[in-house]
């Protein structure tokens, strides 16, 4: 593999820098916020996505072929076949975003305007936005604090006579506790669509994330584990879902098997298209360059997921030794595909009394000073966003269509966001970082947490 991680690690400062000892054993160091030397040397991170010779070759191949788009074009169809095989689904559709894949899944599942769809309050807005694209109503439920998945009891309580679907999210790449939600969906006759945008290649009880409901959706946006710039994938075993989503992806035109059989590169833009839209549709197709890059990334997916998991375990072992620090759990019944690494903080466990957001922000500042990449990624439950505030206000005068997005309904989401930071960032995520850098994060964290009162006093 020729990729920048090798170049990077051989040119970074690690060889010159002493191996970091984990727990700061003496107080003979100054934090970077106090003028000390940052634990993580500048320039040590590996940038994401890692693009190597395979991606360059793939892109060159597309340019030399001269076919840039088409739902039957070779890179798009190749990606669909390879991804379907990877996750073990009958059908796969490549799209221009994870959001459009989610929208197509809802269309394929027959969700209509006015239907209610249960989504988590802790997710990226796209989960709910796709529901709105279909004219349906997102109903937000709170999450549980271990894996940040929907709380099954709250899902059950949110079901009304209008509910048609549940969309659990495997947030940050750790599969959520899906079994009770899937059982609930079956019991109540609801559609289950998995938002696996952040969990490509993750497994839950031996099954691939995204393959346990009627449909599963993934994002290929640049920060994701298969980074294609922009893009998405929808998988399903259900032929009708596939057929409807396929048509909606291209202006509502039904696909005909003979179109694929007669596809020719020489007439890539012509073909035997019927030009007959049978339903409302969108242009949610992706393009050959993105698909080619995604295929190259797919070949390294296992490599990066394994590296991210090893690093998460290493970091988790160290951080767990610090009282009041809760790194992500890796439960025995699932294999995460770590996309984000969220660490929860409880200062009271080290005898420090302070508001959780103040602790979070002070730790974030101190870690950044130590050279760490640290972000918040979301600061409020999704229903707190202006769009949903406006929707709630607008619905007030319509008892038949009243939506309640009262933030008091999402205490766990709010607590998680108030008291956690995400180590690493989208530009420099966990997966490609060398182990020495991960060790350095543990050291930086231990130093900052051990001196929490001083950190808060800055």
Ligand X SMILES: Cc1ncc(COP(=O)(O)O)c(C=O)c1O
Q: List contacts with ligand X (CB under 6 A).
A: 97-99, 123-124, 126-127, 169, 195, 197-198, 219, 221, 232
Q: DSSP for 254-283?
A: PP-HHHHHT--GGGTTTTT----B-S---B
For the chain, helix, strand, coil in percent to 5 are: 45, 15, 45
How many helices and strands in the chain, by DSSP H and E? 15, 14
Q: How far apart are CA 437 and CA 443, in angstroms?
A: 10
Give min distance, CB of 221 to ligand X, in A.
4
In the complex, least distance from residue 228 CB atom to ligand X, rounded to whole angstroms: 9
Least distance (Å) between residue 141 CB and ligand X: 15
* CA-to-CA separations, 107 to 99, 172, 348, in angstroms, rounded: 12, 26, 47
Min separation Cβ 200 and ligand X, Å: 11
C-alpha separations of 106 from 46, 101, 257, 286 in Å: 37, 9, 23, 19
Closest residue by beta carbon to ligand X: 98
Residue 123 beta carbon to ligand X: minimum distance, rounded to whole angstroms: 5
C-beta closer to ligand X: residue 98 or 327: 98
Instruction: Name the token pair of 435.
Output: 């182990």
Q: Which is nearer to ligand X, 226 or 268 (CB)?
A: 226
Torsions phi, psi for 163 (to 5 deg): -65, 135
Minimum CB separation of residue 232 from ligand X in Å reads 5
DSSP letter at 348 equals G
The single residue listed with the structure tokens 């298969």 is: 226
Query: Nearest distance from residue 427's CB to ligand X, in Å?
Result: 14
Whether residue 453 contacts residue 60, with contact meaning beta carbons closer than 8 Å, is answered with no
- Closer by beta carbon to ligand X, 50 or else 105: 105
Decide: 109 and 191 in contact? Cβ < 8 Å.
Answer: yes
Q: Edge-to-edge strand order for the sheet containing 163-166?
A: 91-95, 232-236, 215-219, 191-195, 163-166, 116-120, 137-141
Nearest approach, Cβ of residue 283 and ligand X (Å): 15
With respect to ligand X, which residue has the nearer C-beta, 216 or 371? 216
Under DSSP, is residue 151 helix (H, G, I), strand (E, B) or coil? coil
The residue among 124 and 428 lying less far from ligand X, judged by its C-beta, is 124
Can you tell me the distance from the alpha carbon of 91 to that of 238, in angstroms, rounded to the nearest whole number?
8
Nearer to ligand X by Cβ, of 284 and 445: the residue is 284
């Amino acid at each position: 593999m020729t990729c920048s991680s090798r170049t990077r690690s051989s040119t970074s400062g690690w060889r010159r820098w002493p191996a970091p000892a984990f727990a700061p054993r003496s107080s003979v160091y100054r934090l970077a916020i106090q003028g000390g030397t940052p634990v993580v040397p500048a320039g040590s991170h590996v940038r994401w996505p890692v693009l190597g010779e395979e991606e360059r070759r793939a892109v060159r191949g597309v340019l030399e072929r001269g076919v840039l788009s088409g739902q039957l074009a070779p890179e798009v169809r190749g990606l669909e076949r390879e991804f379907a095989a990877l996750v073990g689904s009958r059908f796969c559709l490549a799209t221009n975003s994870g959001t459009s894949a989610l929208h197509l899944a809802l269309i394929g599942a027959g969700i209509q305007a006015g239907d209610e769809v249960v989504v988590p309050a802790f997710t990226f807005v796209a989960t709910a936005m796709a529901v709105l694209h279909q004219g349906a109503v997102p109903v937000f439920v709170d999450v549980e604090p271990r894996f940040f998945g929907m709380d099954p009891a709250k899902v059950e309580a949110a079901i009304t006579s209008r509910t048609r679907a549940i969309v659990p999210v495997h947030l940050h790449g750790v599969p959520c506790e899906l079994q009770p939600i899937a059982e609930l969906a079956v019991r109540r006759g609801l559609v289950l669509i998995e938002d696996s945008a952040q969990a490509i290649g993750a497994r839950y009880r031996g099954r691939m994330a995204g393959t346990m409901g009627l449909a599963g959706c993934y994002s290929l946006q640049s920060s994701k584990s298969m980074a294609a710039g922009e893009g998405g994938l929808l998988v399903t075993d259900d032929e009708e879902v596939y057929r409807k989503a396929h048509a909606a992806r291209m202006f509502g035109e039904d696909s005909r098997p003979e179109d694929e059989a007669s596809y020719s590169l020489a007439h890539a833009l012509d073909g035997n298209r019927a030009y007959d839209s049978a339903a409302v549709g969108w242009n949610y197709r992706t393009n050959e360059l993105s698909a080619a890059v995604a295929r190259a990334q797919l070949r390294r997916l296992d490599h990066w997921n394994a590296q991210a998991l090893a690093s998460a375990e290493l970091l988790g072992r160290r951080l767990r030794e610090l009282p009041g620090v809760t790194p992500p759990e890796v439960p025995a019944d699932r294999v995460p595909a770590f996309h984000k690494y969220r660490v929860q903080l409880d200062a009271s466990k080290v005898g420090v009394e302070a508001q959780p957001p103040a602790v979070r922000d002070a730790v974030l500042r101190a870690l950044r000073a130590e050279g760490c990449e640290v972000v918040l990624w979301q600061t409020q439950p999704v229903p707190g966003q202006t769009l949903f505030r406006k929707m709630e206000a607008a619905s007030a005068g319509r008892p038949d269509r009243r939506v309640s997005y009262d933030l008091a309904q999402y205490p766990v989401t709010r607590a998680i966001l108030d008291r956690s930071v995400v180590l690493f960032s989208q530009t420099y995520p966990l997966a490609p970082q060398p182990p020495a850098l991960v060790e350095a994060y543990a050291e930086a964290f231990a130093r900052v947490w051990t001196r929490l009162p001083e950190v808060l006093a800055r």
